[in-house]
Chain A
């Protein structure tokens, strides 16, 4: 459906205003197949809003977002169908607490992709095994540690066989010793050529895994580049300042 020339996600003149503030100010950007785009920036820069606009969890005030060639901001297109192809991982995990891990993973494929129970569970257990949690299939989310929950949340999104994965500060709510296990899963995804958009404060991850890094401030994209140049040779004064503070 998409080759490497046409972008998987095309963002045109995206603007998001909240009642008193402008969170996103006329942003345009393309995300291509197989890219790992890391979005960084100070808090309140609009990076999370940008990510949440990509699958319309946040409704843009203005602008267009094309996903696989379809304008998903067009109200005549069924956003639910497109969201099935865009996996999302949240800061707060948002697992369904009233369901077992296995049910968390299979409810989407069964109800939305019309997979059989056996098929959905086979796939879920296979993926769960790959993140080292096969033995927790029967547990409830509250019986898991933060890092385990987030790994399950990633698997939940993967079970829908998405074309792109969106990560909204996936490690920010974790205890420091659990950050690594989640980043490892994300690195594994990147290695398998999953297209990813990651909002994070993990500069190490951006440098090591990102194919492109975007720096946002005050609702605008200030600078973007491949990671080596981005970190070693920042152009704008504001990025230099930001990197000085966080690195």
Chain B
């Protein structure tokens, strides 16, 4: 392995340059098995992204449904007590959601993460748990708006058709509206996943050992910034490319059904 790297380097440059590069690569990645630091950091990044996306998606879905339900609510001239109570609760929830969305979308991600890490959950020792919570909150706000757009894009007649069969509002949402909304929102959701993956690098600022933090750690040992950072960038790029390829495939498969 080392031999091969050396030969490749020597092929492109003079022996002296090859020696110098080889030494740096050795220092940054091979000595003390430093490449495994990057792998460990990558594993943290992937776990963080995965859980934050799943939880952020679920929270965002709930927020989107509350927002749409409120905006499209038809007020009956005659209401039962429960209907009136439901309307009031929905209004309150909607207001909370709107404020939440405004705050989350109106402040930088890094500030949110730092507030959660250093202020709200300063006593917690579960660093990755705190980071997952922080990115869940951040991502949910964007997912909520994406899904809300998807729901609003579903033809009004679909809701009417569901209701006319005798489905209630929520079953119609679940069986008929949401599946269509998610399908049309899929490209934007995949994009949000990619954005989230890249954003998680912010977690290195709160001492979480993610991929970027691992690269910085190597830099601290070797006093060489170029190679570890380039390595981190390449790894991010590869993961993003894989996600993009998967989402393109998924989209094609979903679209083949109805065209």
Contacts and interface: CB of A to CB of B under 8 A. Distances in A.
A199 interface: no
B204 to A, nearest CB: 41
Nearest to A63: B77
A140 B77 CA distance: 39
Interface in B177-222: 179-180, 183
B78 A88 contact: no
B33 interface: no
A55 interface: yes
Contact of A108 (B74, B158, B166): B166
Q: What size tier do the contact residues of chain B reach?
A: 20 to 34
A156 interface: yes
Contact of A59 (B76, B162, B258): B76
B164 A55 contact: yes
A59 B157 contact: no
Interface stretch (B109-117, B135-143, B168-176, B244-252): B168-176
Interface stretch (A92-100, A114-122, A211-219): A92-100
B167 interface: yes
Contacts, number: 81
A75 B161 contact: no
A212 B259 CA distance: 42
B165 A97 contact: no
Interface string B63-92: 000000000001011111001000000000
> Which of B162, B163, B179 has the most chain A CB atoms closer than 10 A to its own CB?
B163
Given A57-B163, A75-B79, A107 B175 contact: yes
Contacts of B158: 94, 96
B160 interface: yes
Find the residue from A60, A82, A97 having the highest chain B CB count within 10 A: A97
A145 interface: no
Pairs of residues from A and B, 6 with the lowest C-beta to C-beta distance, nearest first:
A84-B166, A94-B161, A88-B164, A94-B157, A75-B80, A108-B165
